[in-house]
Amino acid sequence: MIFKGRITSVGFDSGNSIVIGDWKESPLGTFTNIMWSKPDGTRALLSPSRKHADFVSSLYSFDEVSITNFVVKRQKKCIEISTESLSISVSWGFQFAIPIPRPLWFISSVENFLGKIIFGSPTYGIARDGSKEWYSIRGISRVVSAEARHLEQDMGQTSSTDFPKKFGFSSPPRIPSSIEVNSHIDRDKV
């Protein structure tokens, strides 16, 4: 299974950290979801449907799962999302492209080692259900601005991301980033 899209992560000085998965091609179609680490460490998933929520929850761990309507506006270097309780807008800058395809063994060895050392983020691991997952990074951008509100309460200024409890085997870089990625998931080799 291959999911092609963008993972954008940002933290706020209120203690909230948010990861946006915006998938333009996937076995589940085009969809966007949000993984949200709250100040008290609660891990929440906001999903557009039960089907998407069940799939994502099989791979990653959450304390809360909410099915909600998503209104998504995309631009070349920006994404804006509105749900029933959360709204967020994130813009990023220049993308350092990595256009050369690499084999999965390279991603799970060389890139995995470099990802841990440089970004603190593995590019390969075992998901919650035992599936193998590879993150084939296609481009990296730094977030230049972000705003988020929960029930009309501002989350504050942009800061580093912080995940007291991980969602899965990997966490996004501490520096707010937007990463173009192909996520390869193998459920047959569990």
**pLDDT tens across 94-151, in order?**
999 998 889 999 999 999 998 888 888 899 999 999 999 999 999 999 999 999 999 9
State the Cα torsion 173-61-154-144 to the nearest 10°.
Answer: 20
CA distance 9 to 13: 14
Number of domains the chain is built from: 1
Range of the domain at 38: 2-186
| Max avg pLDDT among 84-93, 98-107, 157-166, 181-190 | 84-93
Question: Does position 171 have pLDDT exceeding 90, yes or no?
Answer: no
Tell me the pLDDT tens digit for each residue of 55-102.
999 999 999 999 999 999 999 999 999 999 999 999 999 999 998 889
What is the pLDDT at residue 68? Answer: 96
- Range list of β-strands (E), 13-131: 17-25, 31-37, 43-47, 64-67, 71-75, 78-82, 86-97, 124-126
End-to-end CA distance of the chain: 14
| pLDDT score recorded for residue 169 | 87
Band the pLDDT of 5: cuts 50, 70, 90: very high
Per-residue pLDDT at 190 = 43
Sign of the Cα pseudo-torsion (187, 117, 9, 164, in order): positive
State the average pLDDT over residues 17-21: 96
